Amino acid sequence: MKNKEISQMDLIMEYFKKYLKKEIHHPEIVDWVVEEYKKRTGKVFRDPDRGIRKLSQDGLLIKIKKGVYKYDPDFVSNRQLEEFTASQKAEIFKRDDYRCVVCGRGTGDGVEIHADHIKPKEFGGKAEIENGQTLCA
Ligand SMILES: [Zn+2]
């Protein structure tokens, strides 16, 4: 089940990688992956929309507007660079006293915390301590 999922995602990415930095409209990619998947596996690609949305949420595809996406390898690698490192996270948690800055609960209350970008990565927010805040999960 899991492998099937991955190869569907790979197929979507294959198309986007073929047309680097091109803005691709939803019907174009959906038609291609459905047909190609059928050709290669003999199976039906059930929900290509969900796959595209997932890849966009994961930061692999850039959403231009509703139903239009593109792939830009520079953007993807920049986003990966903007993850907080383990030591940055530790410093953010310490500064915020291991508590969520919104609700005040923290590890002492058995609540899981994580380091959040104040200015989101997709809007150019950097992996800097000043741009980090502790939130509950
Ligand atoms: Zn909270």
Domain boundary assignment for the chain = 2-78, 84-136
- Thinking of the domain 2-78, which architecture would CATH place it in? Orthogonal Bundle (1.10)
Report residue 83 as tokens.
């993850």
Closest CA to 70 of 15, 124, 117, 3: 15
pTM confidence score: 0.58
pLDDT on residue 1:
45
- Residue 51 Cα to ligand 1 midpoint, Å, equals 30
Task: Pick 132 or 46 by higher pLDDT.
Answer: 132
Express each pLDDT in 23-59 by its tens digit.
Answer: 999 999 999 999 999 999 999 998 999 999 988 878 8
- Residue 112 Cα to ligand 1 midpoint, Å, equals 9
- Residue 123 Cα to ligand 1 midpoint, Å, equals 23
Give me the mean pLDDT over the 114-119 stretch: 94
